[in-house]
């Protein structure tokens, strides 16, 4: 498969693997849930590369719908390439604004996107999909990157969204009224949700002859190809009311299907010869009761269906009373993305959250249909609290003066606010400085060693139990107190005292052990020394 080459690519190919895990620190005062939890609706403040990595232990393979709206790289956005990739060339890029004069701006954008797309893929469920908003500046490069990360075979659709409906006469070029939504799935287990059939679509089915099978639509029994092209479909059919033999001439359209099929239709009383019964083209009845109950989505979303940028600006104005954010998307667009991808209890993620439109859409849909969808937002700028989270607070509580009745009354829902904490630098365990807290380390070692979801509720500090994986009961001997940590070891007594939670072999992380392999084997314990052997247990 052809692939995209760009400056810096060799340095970022595996960058997502080296990004350190960071703690996620709850900020209770900024959330609205009584008890902050990573299993709640989430607003996470921080760079999404680190935040996505920090969310992996809890959300690996759990997110059904990802929507992102990254910088479009127009040259006017003031974004900076800030990933701490260990290479002099990349350091040179660090912190400089990416503007139109920057000849490497497309390279930088690709370097920024590639590791993030790789992490996002890890978070998707097997039947999940990711939708990326983008415009003409980077759409072609984005498609190449997505082909590489998700596989060409997992391309789902490129939707054209009509973001505006007026022409701009201030441009010498074409007025652009479309933006794109590029969608890829994790695996072929994804299928888009069908839309409810519209009254308009149903109205095309009538029942002119009061057929007891209900309303039907007539489909001409004609082939797009001519009789000359399909001679086997040019057999004679007798018009039952006139007795006339109908046989398509060479230049006329052939019949739609074989004679056997036509005879079956006749036996099933599906052939319709018009209201007067004299038509010279047979028509076949397709009953409404037989058609698919939903309608497949299409790849053009107009502003009536998905909202416009004007609608988005009006929403921000309604919620904040002023234009606090310059590039919001309409919540209607996000509702359409979520409807087509997620179920009523799915997790929906947006790691370039901006004004928090995705959370607004999730809460609006939940209010509409009683669903229990959850959102995870990530935003790196200072306004993660004052705009992103604030929008969620306001729409949840109710926006006085909003046109939409549900929004006026409040969409309901609560969320927890987290900030990126310290990086999990395991050599700090050796140095005894900046030690991670127990839960953060447990989250990290459990996920890294087992590749499975970590649930902090399972922790039993007394025994050191931190969770059950497919193959092990997992224990962590650790304390944030450096003096105690120095003397912490897996001893024979401690090993014997470990509870048998599920009966599986035990995986024990500890700074050291004072018992030999013989006892470990007898007690069915696999020992992993902290901080070196975290990957040791990645086994079958
Ligand atoms: C185009 S805006 C998204 C707008 C959003 N869809 C809405 O409707 O409001 C892109 C957002 O991504 C944020 N962003 C850019 N790089 C980021 C990063 N590395 N981590 C987290 N957020 C980032 C920007 O600060 C900005 O708020």
Question: Mean pLDDT over residues 75-101, rounded?
Answer: 86
Q: Which residue has the higher pLDDT, 539 or 328?
A: 328
For residue 425, the CA-to-ligand 1 centroid distance in Å is 27
Query: Does the N-terminal peptide bond of residue 366 adopt cis geometry, omega within 30 degrees of 0?
Result: no
Lowest mean pLDDT among 153-162, 350-359, 450-459: 450-459
295 three-state secondary structure: strand
For residue 70, the CA-to-ligand 1 centroid distance in Å is 6
Shortest-distance atom of ligand 1 to CA 350: 6
Pairing assessment for the beta strands 347-350 and 374-379 based on DSSP bridges = parallel
Residue bearing the CA closest to ligand 1, atom 3: 354
CA–CA dist 298, 192 (Å, integer): 11
Whether 113 has a pLDDT exceeding 50, the answer reads yes
For residue 379, the CA-to-ligand 1 centroid distance in Å is 6
Residue bearing the CA closest to ligand 1, atom 27: 354
Which residue out of 380, 392, 394, 395 has the highest number of ligand 1 atoms within 8 Å of its CB and is therefore the one to mutate? 380
Question: Mean pLDDT over residues 278-285, rounded?
Answer: 96
- The predicted pLDDT at position 533 comes to 55
Question: Mean pLDDT over residues 417-443, rounded?
Answer: 82
Question: Mean pLDDT over residues 58-81, rounded?
Answer: 93
- The predicted pLDDT at position 430 comes to 66
Shortest-distance atom of ligand 1 to CA 67: 6
For residue 43, the CA-to-ligand 1 centroid distance in Å is 13
- The predicted pLDDT at position 117 comes to 98
- The predicted pLDDT at position 424 comes to 77
Q: Alpha carbon of 528 to those of 279, 458, 518, 531: distances in Å? A: 82, 20, 15, 8
For residue 76, the CA-to-ligand 1 centroid distance in Å is 14
- The predicted pLDDT at position 531 comes to 67
How large is the angle between the packed helices 390-397 and 357-369, nearest 10 degrees?
A: 20
Q: What token pair was written down for 238? A: 């007798």
CA–CA dist 534, 281 (Å, integer): 74
- Of the candidates 444, 471, 447, 442, which has an alpha carbon nearest to the alpha carbon of residue 457? 442
Q: How far apart are the first and last CA of the chain?
A: 32
Residue bearing the CA closest to ligand 1, atom 7: 328
Q: How confident is the model at residue 111 (pLDDT cuts 50, 70, 90)?
A: very high
Whether 532 has a pLDDT exceeding 70, the answer reads no
Ligand 1 binding pocket (C-beta < 6 A) is 47-48, 69, 71, 325, 327-329, 352, 354-355, 357, 378-381
Q: How confident is the model at residue 534 (pLDDT cuts 50, 70, 90)?
A: low
Lowest mean pLDDT among 146-155, 352-361, 528-537: 528-537
pLDDT 10s digits, 4-29? 999 999 999 988 888 888 888 899 99
Which residue out of 379, 382, 383, 419 has the highest number of ligand 1 atoms within 8 Å of its CB and is therefore the one to mutate? 379
Q: How confident is the model at residue 352 (pLDDT cuts 50, 70, 90)?
A: very high
Q: Alpha carbon of 8 to those of 75, 156, 182, 415: distances in Å? A: 19, 28, 24, 38
Question: Mean pLDDT over residues 124-148, rounded?
Answer: 97
CA–CA dist 339, 346 (Å, integer): 11
Token pair 């403040």 is at which residue? 45
Instruction: Give me the domains of the chain, ranges plus CATH numbers.
Output: 35-73+116-192+300-420 (3.40.50.150), 199-290 (no CATH), 428-529 (no CATH)
For residue 117, the CA-to-ligand 1 centroid distance in Å is 14
Q: How confident is the model at residue 509 (pLDDT cuts 50, 70, 90)?
A: very high
- The predicted pLDDT at position 99 comes to 87
- The predicted pLDDT at position 538 comes to 43
Beta carbons within 8 Å of 409's beta carbon, 6+ residues apart: 398
Q: Alpha carbon of 240 to those of 47, 244, 272, 274: distances in Å? A: 74, 8, 11, 12
- Share the mean pLDDT of the chain: 92
Which alpha helices (H) appear in 173-272, and where do they start and end? 199-202, 259-267
Question: Mean pLDDT over residues 488-496, rounded?
Answer: 92
Q: How confident is the model at residue 429 (pLDDT cuts 50, 70, 90)?
A: low
Question: Mean pLDDT over residues 273-287, rounded?
Answer: 96
CA–CA dist 471, 84 (Å, integer): 36
- Read off φ and ψ for residue 449, nearest 5 degrees: -80, -35
**531, HSE (Cβ side, Cα atoms, 13 Å):** 16
Q: What token pair was written down for 131? A: 């939708």
Q: Which residue has the higher pLDDT, 532 or 438?
A: 438
> How many of the other CB atoms lie within 10 Å of CB of 476?
24
Whether 291 has a pLDDT exceeding 90, the answer reads no
Note if the pTM is more than 0.85: no
- Read off φ and ψ for residue 122, nearest 5 degrees: -60, -30
- The predicted pLDDT at position 537 comes to 45
- The predicted pLDDT at position 536 comes to 43
Whether 487 has a pLDDT exceeding 50, the answer reads yes
For residue 195, the CA-to-ligand 1 centroid distance in Å is 29
pLDDT 10s digits, 187-229? 999 999 998 888 888 999 999 999 999 999 999 999 999 999 9
Shortest-distance atom of ligand 1 to CA 72: 1
For residue 448, the CA-to-ligand 1 centroid distance in Å is 28
For residue 10, the CA-to-ligand 1 centroid distance in Å is 25
CA–CA dist 91, 524 (Å, integer): 48
Residue bearing the CA closest to ligand 1, atom 14: 352
CA–CA dist 127, 314 (Å, integer): 34
Question: Mean pLDDT over residues 128-140, rounded?
Answer: 98
Residues 390-428 as b/e (b if ≥16 CB within 10 A, e otherwise) read bbbbbbbeebeebeeeebeebbebebbbbbbbebbbbeb
């Amino acid at each position: 498969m052809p692939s995209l080459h760009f400056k810096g690519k060799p340095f970022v190919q595996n960058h997502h693997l080296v990004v350190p895990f960071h703690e996620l620190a709850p900020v209770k005062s900024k959330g609205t849930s009584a008890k902050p939890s990573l299993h709640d609706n989430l607003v996470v403040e921080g760079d999404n590369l680190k935040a996505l990595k920090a969310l992996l232990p809890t959300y690996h393979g759990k997110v059904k719908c990802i929507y992102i709206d990254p910088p479009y790289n127009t040259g006017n956005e003031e974004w900076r390439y800030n990933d701490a990739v260990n290479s002099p060339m990349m350091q040179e890029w660090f912190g400089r604004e990416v503007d139109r004069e920057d000849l490497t701006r497309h390279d930088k954008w690709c370097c920024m996107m590639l590791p993030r797309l790789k992490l996002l893929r890890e978070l998707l469920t097997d039947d999940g999909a990711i939708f990326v908003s983008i415009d003409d500046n980077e759409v072609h490069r984005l498609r190449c990157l997505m082909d590489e990360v998700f596989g060409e075979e997992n391309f789902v659709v490129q939707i054209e969204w009509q973001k505006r409906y007026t022409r701009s006469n201030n441009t010498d070029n074409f007025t652009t009224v479309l933006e794109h939504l590029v969608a890829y799935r994790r695996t072929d287990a994804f299928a888009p949700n069908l839309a409810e059939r519209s009254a308009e679509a149903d109205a095309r089915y009538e029942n002119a002859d009061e057929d007891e099978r209900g309303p039907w639509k007539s489909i001409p029994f004609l082939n797009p190809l001519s009789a000359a092209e399909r001679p086997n479909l040019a057999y004679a059919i007798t018009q039952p009311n006139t007795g006339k033999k109908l046989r398509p001439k060479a230049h006329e359209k052939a019949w739609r299907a074989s004679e056997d099929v036509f005879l079956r239709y006749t036996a099933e009383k599906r052939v319709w010869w018009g209201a007067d019964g004299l038509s010279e083209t047979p028509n076949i009845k397709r009953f409404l009761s037989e058609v698919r109950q939903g309608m497949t989505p299409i790849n053009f979303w107009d502003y009536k269906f998905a909202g416009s940028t004007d609608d988005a600006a009006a929403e921000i104005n309604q919620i904040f009373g002023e234009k606090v954010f310059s590039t919001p998307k309409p919540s209607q667009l996000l509702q359409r993305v979520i409807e087509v991808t997620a179920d009523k209890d799915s997790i929906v993620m947006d790691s370039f959250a901006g004004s928090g439109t995705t959370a607004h859409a999730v809460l609006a849909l939940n209010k509409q249909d009683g669903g229990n969808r959850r959102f995870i937002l990530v935003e790196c700028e200072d306004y993660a609290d004052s705009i992103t989270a604030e929008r969620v607070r306001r729409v949840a509580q109710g926006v006085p003066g909003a046109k939409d009745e549900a929004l006026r009354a409040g969409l309901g829902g609560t969320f927890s606010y987290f900030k990126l904490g310290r990086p999990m630098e395991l050599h700090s365990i050796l140095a005894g400085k900046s030690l991670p807290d127990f839960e953060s380390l447990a989250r990290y070692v459990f996920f890294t060693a087992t590749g499975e979801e970590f649930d902090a509720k399972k922790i039993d500090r007394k025994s050191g139990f931190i969770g059950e994986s497919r193959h092990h009961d997992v224990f962590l001997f650790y304390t944030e107190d450096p003096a105690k940590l120095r003397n912490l070891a897996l001893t024979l007594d401690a090993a014997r005292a470990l509870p048998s939670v599920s009966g599986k072999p035990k995986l024990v992380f500890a700074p050291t052990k004072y018992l030999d392999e013989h006892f470990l084997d007898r007690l069915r314990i696999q020992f992993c020394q902290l901080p070196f052997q975290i990957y040791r247990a990645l086994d079958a």
